[in-house]
């Protein structure tokens, strides 16, 4: 069974631009969540989606947004990029998002803002 797939794996953007990252969950998984990983802040929760609805959002500015499609695939968007947005963005999926379900991660999308 294929794992969580994230695209693109690496990208470089300029300050002020916007970026869209994509995540395909494991087949049958309906919950998708996103995390930002930086050396300074560690792993921080961005948001979680289930059945196209955002159920939970972390403490990030409104420039960070996401959505989930009917096939459970998810995208996250960051507008007006800042240097501090440079990070590894990890997508994770689970069956239903209930805390008892194991959460599986993708390999991440490396974003560099210059």
Q: Which residues bind another protein (CB under 8 A)?
A: 31, 33, 35, 42-43, 45, 48, 50, 55-56, 58, 88, 90, 92, 97-100, 102-108, 110
Check: CB of residue 25 under 8 Å from CB of residue 78: no
To the nearest whole angstrom, how small is the minimum distance from the Cβ of residue 71 to another protein?
20
To the nearest whole angstrom, how small is the minimum distance from the Cβ of residue 56 to another protein?
5
Give the span between the Cα atoms of 4 and 64, in whole angstroms.
21
71's torsion region: left (phi>0), alpha (psi -120 to 50) or beta? alpha
To the nearest whole angstrom, how small is the minimum distance from the Cβ of residue 15 to another protein?
24
Burial degree of 25 (CB within 10 A; 0-12, 13-18, 19+): buried
Closer Cβ to another protein, 14 or 102, answer by number? 102
Closer Cβ to another protein, 56 or 77, answer by number? 56
Closer Cβ to another protein, 14 or 28, answer by number? 28
| CB count in 10 Å sphere of residue 15 | 11
Closer Cβ to another protein, 55 or 63, answer by number? 55
């Amino acid at each position: 069974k294929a794992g969580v797939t994230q695209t693109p794996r690496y990208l470089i953007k300029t300050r002020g631009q916007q970026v869209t990252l994509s995540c395909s969950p494991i087949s049958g998984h309906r919950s998708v969540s996103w995390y930002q990983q930086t050396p300074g802040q560690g792993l921080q929760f961005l948001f979680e989606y289930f059945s196209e609805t955002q159920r939970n959002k972390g403490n990030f500015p409104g420039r960070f947004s996401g959505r989930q499609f009917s096939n459970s695939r998810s995208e996250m968007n960051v507008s007006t990029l800042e240097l501090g947005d440079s990070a590894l963005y990890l997508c994770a999926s689970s069956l239903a998002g209930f805390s008892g379900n194991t959460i599986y991660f993708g390999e991440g999308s490396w974003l560099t803002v210059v």
